[in-house]
């Protein structure tokens, strides 16, 4: 097959979270070539005429969509599938409407709550209805990659508004507050298989030698500075299915229900916290998880017995269905 690997158009001086799409695109292209496919790369331009010209020139059987945003704005990731659908070319990953919904975290949480799926309480400006005593974590409402997330993001209720204002001034966009769950963290990778969700081996993020006074969060530094204390001490572990089958059954069921609720395709990651009572709570739905060889999704696939080239080819074959 001929597979066009379409990626975000980022500059050489873009931040690490944006550069990651280039790393992933090169890895995906290499993996596909190792399986005997032609896999040219192209940057995405949010212009239908320009995209049609690329499609005419490359004549792909399918597009591997790695567009995670436009000019660093993840909330605009839906533009790529919108144009690909308009042009009529098959592509990997979730469609435009689910991307629009899941890229808005408060809106995602409302959909979860309305469908009976558990998620921590939250509050939004300008009125901040629902804000009560306790600890809260202030997060971007429409960007992922842990942008703006650090220890100071976890505040008492009295500090929520000031933190949200400060974050908006520094990073732009909308910010909201979620009830901070001081518990275990699980990142569940879900892969499309035969038009349905296949939950891959479940990863727990453990906080090794973590100072007691620090909130247990996987912040921006942990994700993007491999040499940092935060990165080296947040360790991915597999095996909950064997050690705690009841909890694994609950996590799997919730991840599958979330996949169906948001009509996801290709790949997704569902992030959980499990509180002190053992209740699993859905934090976020990521329909565009990192797919680079060193990312958590690839690690889960490897744990399931899928090599990286096998994983990438499987994603393409599902899109061709």
**In the chain, domain spans:** 3-92, 101-107+109-117+182-320, 121-179
Predicted local confidence at residue 128, as pLDDT: 95
Report the interhelical angle of 308-320 vs 16-34 (nearest 10°): 90
Q: Which of 288, 294, 308 is nearest to 94 (CA)?
A: 288
Q: What is the pLDDT of residue 10?
A: 83
Instruction: Going from the first residue of the chain to its last (321 residues), give the mean pLDDT of each consecutive group of 10, the final group possibly shorter.
Output: 94 77 95 98 95 97 95 90 96 96 96 98 94 96 89 97 96 95 97 96 96 93 92 96 98 98 97 96 95 96 98 96 84
State the pLDDT at residue 146: 87
Per DSSP, the residues of 38-87 read: B--EEE--S-HHHHHHHHHHH--SEEEEE---BTTBGGGTTHHHHHHHHH
**CATH class for domain 101-107+109-117+182-320?**
alpha beta
What CATH number does domain 3-92 carry, 1.10.1270.20, 1.20.1250.20, 3.40.50.20, 1.10.510.10? 3.40.50.20
Please report the pLDDT score of residue 14 as a whole number. Answer: 75
Residue 321: CB partners within 8 Å, gap ≥ 6? 195
């Amino acid at each position: 097959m001929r597979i066009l690997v379409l990626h975000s158009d980022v500059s050489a001086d873009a931040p690490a979270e944006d550069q990651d799409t280039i790393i992933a695109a090169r890895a995906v292209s290499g993996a596909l070539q190792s399986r005997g496919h032609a896999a040219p790369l192209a940057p995405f331009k949010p212009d239908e005429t320009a995209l049609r010209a690329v499609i005419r020139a490359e004549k792909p059987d399918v597009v591997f969509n790695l567009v995670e945003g436009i000019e660093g704005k993840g909330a605009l990731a839906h533009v790529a599938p919108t144009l690909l659908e308009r042009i009529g070319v098959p592509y990997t990953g979730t469609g435009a409407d689910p991307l629009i919904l899941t890229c808005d975290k408060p809106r995602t949480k409302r959909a979860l709550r309305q469908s009976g799926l558990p998620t921590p309480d939250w509050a939004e400006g300008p009125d901040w209805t629902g804000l009560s005593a306790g600890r809260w974590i202030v997060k971007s409402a429409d960007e992922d990659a842990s942008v703006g997330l650090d220890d100071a993001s976890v505040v008492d209720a009295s500090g929520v508004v000031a933190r949200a204002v400060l974050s908006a001034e520094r990073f732009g966009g909308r910010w909201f507050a979620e009830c901070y769950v001081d518990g275990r963290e699980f990142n569940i990778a879900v892969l499309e298989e035969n038009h349905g969700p296949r939950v891959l081996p479940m990863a727990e993020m453990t906080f090794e030698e973590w100072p007691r006074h620090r909130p247990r969060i996987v912040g921006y530094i942990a994700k993007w500075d491999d040499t940092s204390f935060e990165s080296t001490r947040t360790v991915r572990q597999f095996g909950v299915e064997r050690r705690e089958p009841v909890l694994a059954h609950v996590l799997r069921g919730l991840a599958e229900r979330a996949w169906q609720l948001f009509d996801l395709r290709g790949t997704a990651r569902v992030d959980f916290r499990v509180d002190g009572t053992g209740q699993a709570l859905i934090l976020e739905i990521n329909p565009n998880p990192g797919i680079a060889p060193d990312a958590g999704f690839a690690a889960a696939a490897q744990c399931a017995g899928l090599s990286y080239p096998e994983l990438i080819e499987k994603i393409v074959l599902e899109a061709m269905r």
